[in-house]
Chains A and B, each alone.
Chain A
Amino acid sequence: MVDISTDYIYQVRLTTHISAVIGSLTHALFTNRVNARGYSVNHPSVQERIEKKRQAALTGGGQLRIAAQHKRGKLTARERLELLLDPDSFVEYDMFVEHRCSDFGMEADHNKYPGDSVVTGQGRINGRLVYVFSQDFTVFGGSLSGAHAQKICKIMDQAMMVGAPVIGLNDSGGARIQEGVESLAGYADIFLRNVMSSGVVPQISLIMGPCAGGAVYSPALTDFTFMVKDTSYLFITGPDVVKSVTNEDVSQEELGGAKTHTTVSGVAHRAFENDVDALLNLRDFFNFLPLSNKDPAPVTECHDPRDRLVPGLDTVVPFESTKAYDMLDIVHGVLDEREFFEIMPNYAKNIVVGFARMNGRTVGIVGNQPKVASGCLDINSSVKGARFVRFCDAFNIPIITFVDVPGFLPGTAQEYGGIIRHGAKLLYAFAEATVPKITVITRKAYGGAYDVMSSKHLRGDVNYAWPSAEVAVMGAKGAVQIIFRGKENQAEAEAEYVEKFANPFPAAVRGFVDDIIQPSTTRKRICRDLEVLASKKQTNPWKKHANIPL
Chain B
Amino acid sequence: MFLQWQRSSSVTVGLLVLVWTPLFHSHVCLSKQRCGVIICRYSTVYDPTEKVSLFIRVIKTCKKMGIKTVAVHSDVDSSAVHVKMADEAVCVGPAPTNKSYLNMDAIMNAIKQTGAQAVHPGYGFLSENKEFAKRLAAEGVSFIGPDTHAIQAMGDKIESKLIAKAAKVNTIPGYDGVVKDAEEAVKIAGEIGYPVMIKASAGGGGKGMRIAWNDEETREGFRFSSQEAASSFGDDRLLIEKFIDNPRHIEIQVLADKHGNALWLNERECSIQRRNQKVVEEAPSTFLDPDTRRAMGEQAVSLAKAVKYSSAGTVEFLVDSKKNFYFLEMNTRLQVEHPITECITGLDLVQQMIRIAMGYKLQHKQSDIPINGWAIESRVYAEDPYKSFGLPSIGRLSQYQEPLDLHNVRVDSGIEEGSDISIYYDPMISKLVTYGKTREEALKKMEEALDNYVIRGVTHNIPLLREIIVHPRFVSGDISTKFLPEVYPDGFKGHMLTAGERRELLATAAALYVAAQLRSQKFLGDLRVSVVPAESRQWELCVELDKGLHMLGVSRSGNNYTVEIDGEKVEVSGEWNLASALLPLTINGKHRTLQCLLRTAAGEITLQYLGTSFKLRVLSKLAASLSKHMPEKVPEDTSSILRSPMPGSVVAVSVKPGDNVAEGQEICVIEAMKMQNSMTAAKAAKVKSVHCKAGDTVGEGDLLVELE
Contacts and interface: CB of A to CB of B under 8 A. Distances in A.
Interface stretch (B11-19, B35-43, B262-270, B516-524): B516-524
A83 B623 contact: yes
Interface string A184-199: 0000000000000000
B499 interface: no
Contacts of A294: 528
Interface of B is mostly: loop
Given A126-B533, A336-B579, A280 B601 contact: yes
Contacts of B398: 312, 329, 332-333, 338
A316 interface: yes
Contacts of B633: 230, 273
Interface string A322-335: 00001001001100
B613 interface: no
Interface in B542-599: 577-580
B700 to A, nearest CB: 16
A71 B529 CA distance: 40
B531 A128 contact: yes
Contacts of B496: none
B83 to A, nearest CB: 11
A280 B602 contact: yes
Contacts of B419: 312, 315
Top-8 shortest CB links A-B? A312-B418, A284-B601, A73-B631, A303-B579, A127-B531, A303-B577, A127-B533, A304-B579
Given A83-B626, A87-B534, 20 more contacts: A73-B629, A75-B629, A127-B521, A127-B523, A127-B531, A272-B602, A280-B603, A284-B520, A299-B523, A299-B525, A300-B520, A303-B519, A311-B417, A312-B397, A312-B400, A312-B419, A315-B79, A316-B396, A319-B75, A329-B396
Interface in A355-395: 360
A320 B79 CA distance: 13
B259 to A, nearest CB: 46
Nearest to B534: A86
B418 A276 contact: no
B630 interface: yes
Contacts of B630: 73, 273-277
Interface string A284-296: 1101000110111
A300 B524 contact: yes
A75 B520 CA distance: 25
Interface string B387-417: 0000000001111100000000000000011
Contacts of B459: none
A126 B622 CA distance: 16
B627 interface: yes
A126 B516 CA distance: 11
Contacts of B396: 312, 316, 326, 329
Given A89-B532, A312-B397, A315-B79, A79 B601 contact: no
Nearest to B456: A338
A89 B525 contact: no
B579 A301 contact: no
A253 interface: no
A287 B524 CA distance: 12
Interface string B49-68: 00000000000000000000
Interface residues of A, number: 63
Contacts of A319: 75, 78
Interface string B78-113: 110000000000000000000000000000000000
B544 to A, nearest CB: 12
Nearest to A312: B418
A409 interface: no
A326 B527 CA distance: 37
Contacts of B578: 303, 337
A454 interface: no
A164 interface: yes
A311 B627 contact: no
Given A89-B534, A276-B623, A329-B398, A301 B522 contact: yes
A163 B528 contact: yes
A272 B623 CA distance: 15
B523 A298 contact: yes
Interface in B446-490: none
Interface in A411-441: none
Given A128-B531, A311-B416, A311-B417, A277 B602 contact: yes
Contacts of B603: 280
B623 A280 contact: yes
Interface in B614-648: 619, 622-623, 626-627, 629-631, 633
A276 B626 contact: yes
A124 interface: yes
Nearest to B519: A301
Contacts of B417: 310-312
B529 A314 contact: no
Nearest to A275: B630
A74 interface: yes
A319 B522 CA distance: 43
A329 B75 CA distance: 21
26 contacts: A79-B626, A82-B622, A83-B623, A86-B533, A127-B532, A129-B529, A231-B631, A275-B630, A276-B602, A280-B601, A284-B601, A291-B528, A298-B525, A299-B524, A300-B523, A300-B524, A311-B416, A311-B417, A312-B396, A312-B417, A315-B79, A316-B418, A319-B78, A320-B75, A326-B396, A332-B398
A54 interface: no
Nearest to A304: B579
Contacts of B521: 126-127
A300 B631 contact: no
Contacts of B397: 312
B525 A283 contact: no
A89 B535 CA distance: 11
Nearest to B416: A311
A49 interface: no
A304 B622 CA distance: 31
B76 to A, nearest CB: 9
Interface string A225-243: 0000011000000000000
Contacts of B623: 83, 276, 280
A87 B536 CA distance: 10
